Chains A and B, each alone.
Chain A
Amino acid sequence: MSEHDDVLLEVKNLKTYFALDEGTLKALDDVSFEIRKNRVLGVVGESGCGKSVTAQSIMQIVPKPGTVSGEILWHGSDGEVIDIGQLDVEGEQMRQIRGNEIAMIFQEPMTAFSPVHTIGNQLTESYFVHGKHNKAEARKRAIELLEDVGIPAADRRIDEYTFQLSGGMRQRAMIAMAMMNQPQLLIADEPTTALDVTIQAQILRLMKRLQREFGMAIMFITHDLGVIANMADDVAVMYRGKMVEFGTVRQVLKAPKHPYTKALLRSIPNFSLDKQRLEAIQGTVGMPLDPPNECPYNNRCDVATPECFVAMPETTRFADGHCVACYRYTDIEEGTLE
């Protein structure tokens, strides 16, 4: 897949399965994509599509009894390519990457922070864990970062606890914590979903600025296509453990090829003057055990044909890099449908 020379992370045929008593839950089934340096990859889909499991698989923090297979190739700063999937989950090398080269922020900062340690303790901890020992320097860096992310009176706030912060400020503190070791990749799992819209806009602007200033890549997971439009350079659309479409933000939002992406865009109330019925997608995502290897969207798709129920379509890659996993895209393209 890789044809760019600025690839930071390559994911190939990633499969994350949970073997349960009742059968196998295929949270991720043969997912491939890449994240390029200095760019933002938006990962979008509804709940249960495997967005968070993708992040967990990269960080090697998949909860039990999940097993990860496939390749997760990390192009480190020293030019070396490491397959994260092959590393010992708790080994030294993985710990060196996790929280240091790749950092992560979460939807609910209250549960991601410890309530019994001060903000400063938690920020400097990740600094110490990764081999830097100067206490005064760590504190100085923490204060600088807290100021940088827009926390007023950072030199005082650093000694407070996270419950003393508002939701927006907590999210800022978590971003500061993730930035402590200047990661090359920041994985953000629905970081603004719990926030009010004015605060969400502030956090999105902040993340965009930090991304540019630090020259890092972001993998931005969200269900909100509006957030995607504002943050992402590239977009991966996921559906029930599969990646059904991949392309630049313009390709995916302006000229979507997969019926799911199109339906998702149509189902959003869009401030148009004509008050038409919303075009809902019938049914729900669902997560069947031991699913057959067919298109996961076939039961909700309005253009599905019998072949969609026989086998999973191959991913088609276009000359402009736009990828889609659908049998019907050509029909849709040529306008013979709709």
Chain B
Amino acid sequence: MTENSPILEVKNLKKYFPIEKGILRRVVGNVKAVDDLSFHIHAGKTLGLVGESGSGKTTVGHCVIRAYDITDGEIIFRPNDKDVELGHLSRKELRPYRKHMQMIFQDPYSSLDPRKTVFDIISEPLRINKTHSGKALENRVRELLELVGLEVKYMKRYPHAFSGGQRQRLGIARALALNPKVIICDEAVSALDVSVQAQIINLLVDLQKEFGLTYLFIAHDLSVIEHISDEVMVMYVGRVMEYADTQELFRNPKHPYTEALMKSIPIPDPDRPLLDEDEVVGELPDPANPPTGCYFHPRCKYAQQICREKTPPLMQVGDNHTSACHFADELELQGLII
């Protein structure tokens, strides 16, 4: 492995869900949940994946940890010295790599088994992988609880006794149990109140520094994405619209969808209201029946004839900055960081 090889590299990822009809379940079409997506993350960094519901963010996460079989593409993972292509490995072949990649979920209520104690929940990955047992197992669970800021005396309690923020800490402790390299955070702070959300974001940042963790951080909230990510990828109906370093993206967006998202965020300052002229009309298209050309064109205020006809390729528009817009170079779009 060279110094600059990313720990995770996804190339041309596609995940199609078939649409079936009739009693014979004839396949009549596909929902292209993820359509030709490429990205990479360097060790110790955070890639933010942002988009509205139905944009395919979660599907990307599920493909990367191979909870889904992928339709096409490559998922190259470099947990140690050599490259492994995870995309087409069988369940059995995947086993040794699973422990390097973990996931934290959005809903801290449904992602913890209510009938298991905290000890059972956090020790489960350790027991399954037979890394610890007996006293060592208990010590490891203790250590993990302390890491995420929970008191060790809670070990025998059940999840219902914890608040949303504490449950999310349990989910993080479980994800950390096997010393993973990559953690996929799927809307990990979305369900939390802002004061608690800030606690969890700080915890994730601290853990990243301490263990050199790599995050794929999936969220719909641009302010959270901006805060935590080194790079950001903006998705819309399964496709990448824009991909850039965080500061660059928020200062100098090169895709009308990115600008539209930024201008739709209500800022807690009465002097910066949402402006009527920034209204994004319409709704997300049905992913089973997306529009022709650029998927965003029916809602885009800059759309021209070519946008209706031709799908714009992802083009280089700056240093480590790509955009899938025909007019990326011409438009003068406004960023959020001022």
Whether A205 lies near B276 (C-beta < 8 A) is yes
The size of the chain B interface, using a CB distance under 8 A, is 47
A277 at the interface (CB under 8 A from B): yes
Q: Which residue of A lies closest to B273 (CB)?
A: A230
Q: Interface-forming stretch among B22-30, B68-76, B114-122, B188-196?
A: B188-196
Q: With A and B bound together, what is the CA distance between A253 and B271 in angstroms?
A: 10
Known interface pairs A226-B268, A253-B270. Does A202 touch B280 (Cβ–Cβ under 8 Å)? yes
A285–chain B nearest beta-carbon distance, Å: 7
Q: With A and B bound together, what is the CA distance between A196 and B250 in angstroms?
A: 19
Q: Which of B193, B226, B268, B272 has the most CB of A within 10 A?
A: B268
Q: With A and B bound together, what is the CA distance between A250 and B281 in angstroms?
A: 29
Contacts across chains A and B counted by CB atoms under 8 Å: 129
Q: Which of A168, A269, A281, A286 has the most CB of B within 10 A?
A: A269
Whether A202 lies near B279 (C-beta < 8 A) is yes
Residues of B bordering A, CB below 8 Å:
52-53, 163-166, 193-199, 201-202, 205, 220, 222-224, 226-227, 247, 250, 260-261, 263-270, 272-274, 276, 278-281, 283-284, 299, 336-337
Whether A277 lies near B202 (C-beta < 8 A) is yes
Known interface pairs A199-B283, A225-B268, A229-B269. Does A264 touch B194 (Cβ–Cβ under 8 Å)? yes
Whether B268 lies near A201 (C-beta < 8 A) is no
Of B195, B227, B280, B281, the residue contacting A269 (CB under 8 A) is B227
Whether B266 lies near A223 (C-beta < 8 A) is no
B198: chain A residues within 8 A (beta carbon): 267-269, 278-281
A249: chain B residues within 8 A (beta carbon): 270
B191–chain A nearest beta-carbon distance, Å: 10
Q: Could you give 7 example pairs across A and B, Cβ below 8 Å?
A: A47-B193, A201-B264, A202-B280, A229-B270, A265-B268, A268-B223, A270-B223
Of B194, B264, B270, the residue contacting A198 (CB under 8 A) is B264
Q: Which of A223, A229, A263 has the most CB of B within 10 A?
A: A229
B299: chain A residues within 8 A (beta carbon): 198
Whether A227 lies near B193 (C-beta < 8 A) is no
B194: chain A residues within 8 A (beta carbon): 46, 223, 225, 264, 267-268
A222–chain B nearest beta-carbon distance, Å: 10
Q: With A and B bound together, what is the CA distance between A200 and B163 in angstroms?
A: 28
A228: chain B residues within 8 A (beta carbon): 268
Q: With A and B bound together, what is the CA distance between A239 and B201 in angstroms?
A: 23
Q: With A and B bound together, what is the CA distance between A125 and B177 in angstroms?
A: 56
Q: With A and B bound together, what is the CA distance between A277 and B205 in angstroms?
A: 9
Q: With A and B bound together, what is the CA distance between A73 and B250 in angstroms?
A: 48
